[in-house]
Amino acid sequence: MKFVVLGPGRMGTALTLALTSLGHSVLAAHGRVPDSRASQQYQSLTGVPVIGWEALAPYVREADVVLLTVPDKAVTVMAETLADEGWIDNGTVMIHTAGSLSAAALQPVESRGALRLCMHPLQTIADPAKGASLFQGVYFTLDGDDDAVLLAQQWIEAWGGIPLSIRPDQRPAYHAAAALASNAVVALASVAAQVSGLPDGLKALLPLLHGAVDNLDKLGLPTALTGPVERGDLSTVNAHLSALQHNPTALSVYAALGKATADVARSKESLSQQQWEDFQQLFTSVLGGM
């Protein structure tokens, strides 16, 4: 199939490499600044030219699939502009990759007869040069028109990924979960490194982080949980809270996650109902006092 990519950034680059590895052809990419550093990197990694808006029309008209890998706020604006230009033909597939937005974000091209799809990989793409290998074992959520969903399922399976259908109204909560599992872990590591007082806190904490993820992978929830809350050790938790008194961000993170930790410990049956209530009351009072 023939593709055009609008937004030659990290996702655009990774998907271009992944799609061309399946034998598809990416005709051109569009960036607002075709000679920006990101566009130059896209061209050198993919061999696909990045072109300006004035040269785009014939490529979009020739493409079977238009891939919008622009920031979330630009998805609908871009779809609207393409619809207004009259470049989208009946049966063109238009795809965006913003996890919090459903295929309805592409509503402007519906009246042009385009098929719409949101295809969101549950993966963080910092090094797009890895291409299709980034998607091995990765879940992709899909919502949109049936024929477009079927196409995407084939690509995802060829990359070794796992396609999942999702209801459009699930997307905001689903995407909040993705942010918690990825961005929040990075933020948590930053807070922990700072609190540790160690010269290279992050480096020292990394084996612990890897161990926790490994436990989640091998043992799952709730078995993976260890630590003072899981042991019902209220005095150690009180000592932690005292140590964090002068760091409001760390204190609120600790207390909010403490409530969730107590829930996991309770579901593991390592806390009695009374112990669970004591922890909940303690953490709630810390959060309420902030």
Question: Does 161 help bind ligand NAP (rule: CB under 6 A)?
Answer: no
Question: Does 11 help bind ligand NAP (rule: CB under 6 A)?
Answer: yes
Question: Does 215 help bind ligand NAP (rule: CB under 6 A)?
Answer: no
Identify the CA nearest to 159 among candidates 1, 24, 4.
24
Question: Does 32 help bind ligand NAP (rule: CB under 6 A)?
Answer: yes
- Which residues, including other chains, have CB under 8 Å from residue 185's CB and lie 6 or more apart? 209
Which of 3, 8, 102, 159 binds ligand NAP (CB under 6 A)? It is 8
Question: Does 144 help bind ligand NAP (rule: CB under 6 A)?
Answer: no
Q: Which is nearer to ligand NAP, 67 or 251 (CB)?
A: 67
- Which residues, including other chains, have CB under 8 Å from residue 30's CB and lie 6 or more apart? 4, 5, 6, 7, 8, 50, 51, 52, 53, 56
Minimum CB distance to ligand NAP, residue 70 (Å) = 4
Taking CB under 6 A as the binding criterion, the range among 4-12, 252-260, 261-269, 270-278 that sits at the site for ligand NAP is 4-12
Taking CB under 6 A as the binding criterion, the range among 18-26, 117-125, 137-145, 209-217 that sits at the site for ligand NAP is 117-125
Report cis status (omega within 30 of 0) of the bond before 222. yes
Residue nearest to ligand NAP (CB): 9
Question: Does 33 help bind ligand NAP (rule: CB under 6 A)?
Answer: yes
Question: Does 124 help bind ligand NAP (rule: CB under 6 A)?
Answer: yes
| Structure token pair of residue 178 | 């993705």
- The distance of Cα 279 from the centroid of its chain, to the nearest Å, equals 32
Question: Does 125 help bind ligand NAP (rule: CB under 6 A)?
Answer: yes
Taking CB under 6 A as the binding criterion, the range among 31-39, 136-144, 215-223, 239-247 that sits at the site for ligand NAP is 31-39
Contacts with ligand NAP: how many residues (CB under 6 A)? Answer: 25
DSSP bridge pairs for 230: none
* SS3 state at 114: coil
How many angstroms separate the Cα of 54 from the Cα of each of 61, 142, 147, 169?
Answer: 13, 32, 31, 36
Neighbours of 254 (CB within 10 A): 22
| Structure token pair of residue 46 | 């993919």
Q: Which is nearer to ligand NAP, 74 or 189 (CB)?
A: 74
Residues within window 73-102 making contact with ligand NAP, judged by CB under 6 A: 74, 78, 97-99
Question: Does 251 help bind ligand NAP (rule: CB under 6 A)?
Answer: no
Dihedral of the CA atoms 131, 89, 112, 53 (nearest 10)?
60
Taking CB under 6 A as the binding criterion, the range among 5-13, 106-114, 136-144, 282-290 that sits at the site for ligand NAP is 5-13
Neighbours of 289 (CB within 10 A): 8
Where helices occur in 104-233 by DSSP H, the ranges are: 146-158, 171-181, 183-196, 201-219
Which of 1, 27, 38, 243 binds ligand NAP (CB under 6 A)? It is 38
Contact yes or no for 133/160 (Cβ under 8 A): no
Taking CB under 6 A as the binding criterion, the range among 69-77, 82-90, 106-114, 139-147 that sits at the site for ligand NAP is 69-77
Question: Does 31 help bind ligand NAP (rule: CB under 6 A)?
Answer: yes
Chain residues binding ligand NAP by CB under 6 A are 7-12, 31-33, 36, 38-39, 69-72, 74, 78, 97-99, 120-121, 124-125
